[in-house]
Each structure stands twice: as structure tokens, then as C-alpha cells.
Amino acid sequence: MAKLIFDHNGDETDLNDDSPIAEACEDAGVPFACTEGVCGTCVIEIKCGKENLSSPTKEEEDFLGEGCSDERLACQCRIKNGTVRISF
């Protein structure tokens, strides 16, 4: 079981391993628009645990630039396992 922690309020959400994080992020107040990785509305900052997320998609690299280290698009991320702390 993986855990997503929201930095702004300390809320924690348990997710199955290899789950998309979009729904949990939307429930926590992360704004969404296109959900296709194009608009950038759902940019989140990874505070810790980025190694527990899926690799950036082509859409993320196109929008954020290759080697995007601490920013991700919530609509494109999957949490592989472990704990990830984010802010938005």
C-alpha cells in the first residue's frame, strides 16, 4: 500500500501500489483542467519520495522540460509504492 501526503494540511491518503494519483489530488483540492498532460493546471511539487512515482511521461517532459526534478503533473503520475509528500 502506498501513501500520498498533502503538505498544505498534512492529510494522508492510502492508495494501492501503482495507482494514479489524480483522483486523490483532485479530492485534496489540486486544480485540474484537461487531464491530458497538456495544460499544466495540475502541476504539483514533490517534497519527498519522488523515487516512488512513475517516470515522467512524454507529456510531462514536453510541458515541464526534460529532467523535471521536483515538479510533476498530477494527471500523469502514478505512485509505485512507498510514501510521497506533495504540495500545490
Q: Rounded to whole angstroms, how far apart are CA atoms 8 and 20? A: 20
pLDDT of residue 66: 73
Calculate mean pLDDT across residues 72-84: 98
CATH of residue 29: 3.10.20.30
CB atoms within 10 A of CB 45: 13
The confidence band for 65, taking pLDDT boundaries of 50, 70 and 90, is confident
Task: Report whether 76 contacts 60 (CB < 8 A).
Answer: yes
Burial class (CB in 10 A: 0-12, 13-18, 19+), 29: exposed
Q: How far is CA 32 from CA 39, 42, 50, 74, 81, in A?
A: 9, 5, 21, 9, 24
The confidence band for 16, taking pLDDT boundaries of 50, 70 and 90, is very high
pLDDT of residue 41: 96
Calculate mean pLDDT across residues 41-63: 95
Give me the domain span that covers residue 42.
2-87
